[in-house]
Structure 1
Amino acid sequence: MKILFKSKSKSPKASDEVVRLTRNLLVSLLSNEPDSRKRDEKIAELNKLIRDMKLTLYGSAESGPVAEACKKLTEEFFKEDTLRLLIICLPRLNLEARKDATQVVANLQRQHVDGRLIAPIYLEENLDLLESLVSGYEDPEIALHYGNMLTECIRHQIIARSVLESESFRKFFDYIQLPQFDIAADATATFKELLTRHKSTVAGFLSTNFDWFFHDYNTKLLESRNYITRRQALKLLGDILLERSNSAVMMRYVSSKDNLIILMNLLRQSSKNIQMDAFHVFKLFAANQNKPPEIMNLLIANQDKLLRFLADFNSDKEDAQFQEDKAQVMAEIAELALQAN
């Protein structure tokens, strides 16, 4: 006999309704439900809703995302404090839900509503959330999730500027030296992104904060006992100083005797990789045609040692550009005494 009455399957929830349900559950989760069974049920439902949001934004293997659904989800998500609640509750979610939540936040940074990005508007009005994401590096359980969220948020120039200008930015000098390698690597990647992605913002930040920034950079990173920290800091320093928009910053850096001493000490280290990275910064001091007297005097005092070192200093592979740079540096150093006279 045929079944005449079939149970009705539930129709999928609208994307904005999914956000509202998520928000309500997040609020409820913060109430510290004394009944552990009910709390577990709420977390399970929350995990499912976050996965539904991810499916709406990214689509599935069978079909891509629907623009109207993405728009409604984005509007509802930033209408109230869903992002704040999600960040606060992230430690209470299971690993898969944390991953899904991170992907949801990442995708929402790129969602347009009526032709404009609304994520940076919300973030600019809630800058304390950026402080929370930065401080997340201190918790090994959630550090990578918060770090990934932060990386996506600083794709917006106005948000990157806010992070650079915040007190919490200085914490990166410690985070990139954390003992947990994966967390330190993530913090290093975010630090590099902040200092290289938005050229005009970085140039302005470095000009305004030159003294404290490079003091910390030199003493905490370039003079770190950790080999990886020193090498990564040297490579990033070279990228920063050689960026055309940072030309004024570069001239200030290579006019400092203290900076030159640090680079000369790095040239003396046993690691060939450190020596090579240090050379690419040291050559900027030598190439400066307007060397201050203290730079001239220091280079002249070490002229013979530098020329002997450079004569034996070679790349491990054939590198015509390196040989050309080395020859130019040696010529500049050899002429120092004549220039001084």
Structure 2
Amino acid sequence: MKGLFKPKPKIRTPADIVRRVRELLIYFHGASNLNQDPKWQEKMEELGKLIEELKFILYGSSDSEPVPEACAQVTQEFFRENTLRLLILCLPKLNLEARKDATQVVANLQRQQVNSRLIACDYLEANIDLMDILVKGYEDHKIALHYGSMLRECIRHQSIAKYVLETHLQKFFHYIQLPDFDVSSDAAATFKELLTRHKSTVAQFLSRNYDWFFKEFNTKLLESPTYIIRRQAIKPVLQLLGDILLDRSNAAIMVRYVSSKGNLIILMNLLRESSKPIQMEAFHIFKLFAANRNKPPDIVSILIANRSKLLRFFGNFKLDKENERFEADKAQVVKEIAELEPKEIQCVQAG
């Protein structure tokens, strides 16, 4: 008869789940030798299930949509104390599935509003050192992709992106060259996000850091002798450069870039690459040099000195499929180069 009167298990609220997750994370964070606790595997299994449960609350499932009230509870409780910090610090101790679920939970929380505020941003601003931890994650291939994904979600917030740009961008020139293709590709994705998402912040950053940034960009990426860069990264790097230069917010940066003799020489060398996709991306940037109405004397002299080679190259430069826009752009570049005269150098110099 006793079995008939067992108390019903207490239903846990979303906030209760977060609190239990925090308790388990505190345990794992403080445990120096898990093997001394015979129940650690049981606790790890519980933690994994709870993180998965949080994922279902925030994203919903195939059978149900997420409930706004439940999402708000999770978000408030998550950022009320240091659950995010604990989750990031304990991520290396979690199993692969729990890491994946944790990464999705962190991503979703960046978008959750409570009383019309993105409280994740407030928390990150007060705990900005977490970005240092996430960036450094690229140095550990076991967690690099999870930390990288979290980092990209965090830099959706402009103030956080500004901090990472100013404090850590230089490290990415190294991370993009890491021998692990998956890690280097993930670092490149974060690098691109940092340099394209928040237009005004990026424009200010590049204006203040133009010299060292483009020196690194040229030597570490465009002119890199590293095999992985030459084979896999030059095309997306050139695409990124084009995105930066053609953005209206970076108009002053673009004018400065196309006034550089060194930059022109790099682009002309890239036009000679055997890879058609690389040639194509290089062409999109080279045409900015040709279109510049205020070419400096040394730019004009280089174009004239190489005019016959350039015209011959563009005469044979074709795409596999017809493209009217490309042909029009190419014709304009050819016209600009063909019409350059030595006297223009004298006129510019005289001015």
- Kindly state the Cα deviation for residue 99 of structure 1 after the two structures are TM-superposed: 0.8
* Structure 1 residues 293 and 62: alpha-carbon distance in aligned structure 2, compared to 1, 3 A threshold: same
Could you give the per-residue CA deviations for residues 77-101 of structure 1, whole angstroms, max 9, x where no partner exists? 1111111111010010111111111
Distance 1:250 1:65 in 2: 45
* Structure 1 residues 125 and 295: alpha-carbon distance in aligned structure 2, compared to 1, 3 A threshold: same
Does residue 340 of the first structure (1) align with residue 345 of the second (2)?
Answer: yes
Q: Which residue of 1 aligns with 2:300?
A: 296
- Kindly state the Cα deviation for residue 45 of structure 1 after the two structures are TM-superposed: 2.0
Q: Which amino acid aligns with 2:180?
A: Q
The unaligned stretches of length 5 or more in structure 2 are 347-351
Matches for 1:1-341 after TM superposition, within 5 Å: 5=4, 7-32=6-31, 34=33, 35-166=36-167, 168-225=168-225, 226-337=230-341, 338-341=343-346
Q: TM-score, normalised by structure 1?
A: 0.94
Distance 1:297 1:112 in 2: 57
**RMSD, aligned CA:** 1.7
Distance 1:3 1:89 in 2: 42
Is the contact between residue 254 and residue 284 of structure 1 (CA under 8 Å) also seen in structure 2?
Answer: yes
Could you give the per-residue CA deviations for residues 111-155 of structure 1, whole angstroms, max 9, x where no partner exists? 111111100111111111111111111111111111111111111
* Structure 1 residues 50 and 214: alpha-carbon distance in aligned structure 2, compared to 1, 3 A threshold: same
Is the contact between residue 222 and residue 229 of structure 1 (CA under 8 Å) also seen in structure 2?
Answer: no
* Structure 1 residues 33 and 328: alpha-carbon distance in aligned structure 2, compared to 1, 3 A threshold: closer
Q: What secondary structure sits across from 1:101 in the alignment?
A: helix
Q: Percent identity, aligned pairs only?
A: 62
Which moves more between the two structures, 188-197 or 102-111? 188-197
Q: Which amino acid aligns with 1:340?
A: I
Q: What secondary structure sits across from 1:37 in the alignment?
A: coil
Q: TM-score, normalised by structure 2?
A: 0.92
- Kindly state the Cα deviation for residue 38 of structure 1 after the two structures are TM-superposed: 2.7
Q: Which amino acid aligns with 1:11?
A: K
Which moves more between the two structures, 298-307 or 118-127? 298-307
Q: Which amino acid aligns with 1:326?
A: K
Distance 1:139 1:288 in 2: 44
- Kindly state the Cα deviation for residue 295 of structure 1 after the two structures are TM-superposed: 1.0
Is the contact between residue 264 and residue 282 of structure 1 (CA under 8 Å) also seen in structure 2?
Answer: yes
Distance 1:25 1:112 in 2: 26
Distance 2:141 2:87 in 1: 18
Is the contact between residue 196 and residue 240 of structure 1 (CA under 8 Å) also seen in structure 2?
Answer: yes
Could you give the per-residue CA deviations for residues 142-180 of structure 1, whole angstroms, max 9, x where no partner exists? 1111111111111112211111111x2211112122222
The unaligned stretches of length 5 or more in structure 1 are none
Distance 1:273 1:184 in 2: 20
- Kindly state the Cα deviation for residue 5 of structure 1 after the two structures are TM-superposed: 1.3
Which moves more between the two structures, 220-229 or 245-254? 220-229
Distance 1:58 1:340 in 2: 63
